[in-house]
Structure 1
Amino acid sequence: MEDLDKLFAQIPLEIGKSLEAMSKTNDIQERKLHSEIIHNLSSAMGIFLDAMDTMGLDCDDDYYDDEDDYDEQPSKLKLSKKAGKKKLEDDSPF
């Protein structure tokens, strides 16, 4: 499990490296490559989080708090207890 934690922690770092490299080039092909890398890493992170959820394991449960709102509007996004999961809470009756 420790190896998975290290791998999971590496994903945002790799996304950051690709973002930085993409911002430093004007070559369209290279930008497309980095865009695809970022997309694939983001997808991998989502798959990892879904697998953890399926196994009933929380990903850093203390980091996410149901009380932290994005905004104070009637319709708001809130962070759920499971890492990476967002739910839309709409106060409308529909």
Structure 2
Amino acid sequence: MAGLVTILNPGETLPAAGHFAGPWRDFARTRIAPHARETFAGDGSESAIFVMSGSATARVGDTDTPLAEGGAVTVGLGSRVDLTAGPDGVELFITTLTVQVD
């Protein structure tokens, strides 16, 4: 497969099909508004979520962990992570891989 050089604009998702032969599903750049919450679930997939700017709190089970610019959190197969944006919101880069369960 050929390489790809691109820019993801805020709110844009790039499907991986056609660019990668592996299990990558997509790449997304998204923003969560101040104090809003979004849930990321590993239902048939795994994700790596990187904080590009702003801050958030990641909740896994009963544990809260603060995230700042440069921080990252992973969402493994079958798991769930709740991200609550900080007072200025949070901008994220998310890469998601499809997981085949036999």
Q: Under TM normalisation by the shorter chain, which class is it?
A: under 0.3
Task: Using structure 2 for the length normalisation, give the TM-score.
Answer: 0.20
Richer in strand (by share):
2
Larger radius of gyration: 1
Richer in helix (by share):
1
Task: Using structure 1 for the length normalisation, give the TM-score.
Answer: 0.20
Greater length-normalized contact order (CA 8 Å, ≥ 6 residues apart): 2
